[in-house]
Amino acid sequence: MAAARSQTRLASWVDLVGDLLQQPRADLPLREVVDALGDTFGALGTWHWRDPDGSFGFGSPEVIERFPVHEMEYWGREGLVRHPLVRWFAVSGDLSATTVGRVPETVSPAADRQLLREQLRPIGHDEQLALPYRMNGYVYRGFVVSRTGDDFDDDDVELARRVQVLLTLLARQVTVVADHDRLPSAREAGLTGREHAVLQLLAQGLTSTAMARRLGISARTVEAHLAHLYRKLGVNDRLVAVEVGRQAGLLGAVPPSLPPGHGFAQALEWRPEASN
C-alpha cells in the first residue's frame, strides 16, 4: 500500500515537472513547487537560499505565526553553521535529500539539535526534510518540508530524493535558459564557450579544482582558460573578473534572491550590511 502511494505521488511530480520543462523559463516557479511539496508530504513546503556575502532567507506560502524574526541575525551570523542539515551537506558533500533526525551526531552534536528544537518546535517546524538543488561554496538553494512530531519516514525520504532529481533537472534548465540570453555578450567580448563557462563558475565561487570536476577537464586546463579570460577582460584576479563580467553583461545583473512575483505570503531575509 505504501509503495503504491509513493508511486502515485511520484507520478504527479513527473507530470508537473514534465509540464514545466515544456515551458522554458529563466526563474524557477518557486510558489508552485513549494505548494506541491506541501501537498505531497502533508507538511509546510518552503524555499531557502544563501548567498556568498552571508545573506540568507526563505519564502513560505503561508505566514508562520510566532516565527522568531528577531533571531534572524543570530542565524545569519552563527546559527546556520550549527544547523544539522546545513552542517551535513557542507561536511559530507552529499546533497541527497535527508532529515534532521538522520544526520549523525558525529556531524551535529546534541547541543545543536537542542538549539534547533528550542527555536522551531514552538512554531511547529522542528522536523525538517531538506531537498537542496544547488550548493557551491557559500551559495545554497533548496526546498524544505517541515512539521513537528515524528520524523519523516524512509518512504518519504526515498520519494524526496526522487523528487529532488526532477527539481535539479528543472533548475538546470532554468540556468541554461538564463545563460542563453547572455551568449551574444560573451561572443562580443571574444570569449569562447569554455571561457564563458569558467567565468560563470567563477561567479559561483568555485575553485579551479571544483571547476575542473564540473567541466570534466584538468585543473591545469582551467588555469589556462582563466589566464585567457583575465587577458580578454583586462583584469588580474577572480573578484575583479566577476565584477567586470557582470558590468559587461556576461553574467547578467545579480538576480534577486527572491525574484519579483514569487507569490510567497511570507518572505524573510537577513543581510550583513543591514545589521551593521
Name the β-bridge partners of 267. 59
Alpha-carbon gap, residue 44 to 67, rounded angstroms: 14
Could you read off the pLDDT of 78-124 as tens digits, one per residue?
A: 888 899 999 999 999 999 999 999 999 999 999 999 989 999 999 99
How far is residue 194 from each of residues 138, 190, 254, measured CA to CA in Å? 23, 12, 21
Contact between residue 209 and residue 220 where contact means Cβ atoms under 8 Å apart: no
Contacts (Cβ under 8 Å, ≥6 apart) of 217: none
Residue 182 — pLDDT band, cuts 50, 70, 90? low
Q: What is the mean pLDDT of residues 13-35?
A: 91
Residue 183 — pLDDT band, cuts 50, 70, 90? low
pTM > 0.85? no
Hey, CA dihedral for 127, 88, 95, 90, is it positive or negative?
Answer: positive
| pLDDT at position 276 | 54
Residue 200 has φ and ψ, to the nearest 5°, of -65, -40
Q: What is the dihedral of CA 30, 36, 40, 42, to 10 degrees?
A: 80
Please report how many Cα atoms fall inside a 13 Å half-sphere around the Cα of residue 251, on the Cβ side. 20
Give the residue with greater pLDDT, 258 vs 208: 208
Give all domains of the chain, ordered by start, each with its CATH number.
2-174+255-275 (3.30.450.40), 183-247 (1.10.10.10)
Residue 26 has pLDDT above 80, yes or no: no
Residue 5 has pLDDT above 90, yes or no: no
Could you read off the pLDDT of 217-245 as tens digits, one per residue?
A: 899 999 999 999 999 999 998 889 988 88
Total residue count of the chain as it appears in this document: 276
